[in-house]
Amino acid sequence: MEKKPDETRVFIDNRGNWFQDGIEIKHRLTYLYNNKLLDRDKEGRYYIDDGSCRLYVRVEDTPFVVKMLRKEGEDYYLTLNDETEEKLNLETLRINDENIPYTKVKNGKFSARFTRPAYYELMKYAVQEGEGFYIESNGQKHHLVKS
């Protein structure tokens, strides 16, 4: 039987930590498996489904967190909390009112929040122009837009 969204037993905090019934999931393989199963329904609700049932997941901010950023040539690469790495799409990079950067990950399906260390690494490549900042890649300026 499918659980309703208000009956969530699973929660992801703003640092990417998973909890079930109030207990943090610390087992690495369980944590990684849950991240792999994470999806969204048509209404935008998060859930995990292992084929036997669907459990809805309450997400405090974003389900994925950017743990590290590195520059290789003209490109930037993210390491996420699920231990995957992907190229940063500078077109989806935005900054909220609290100066926290976010980007789209997993082929644009999910948002990811930058941790403080990843943010500091990102800002090493930022260039100030007037009141704002941009990051250059492949000869193009990508302005850090507040959202």
pLDDT digits (tens, 9 = 90+) for 65-89: 999 999 999 999 999 999 999 999 9
Tell me how far apart the alpha carbons of residues 107 and 39 are, in angstroms, rounded to a whole number: 12
CA Rg value for the chain: 17
| Residue 130 token pair | 């007037």
pLDDT at 2 over 60: no
Domains of the chain: 5-59 (3.10.540.10), 64-146 (no CATH)
Query: Mean pLDDT, the chain, as a whole number?
Result: 93
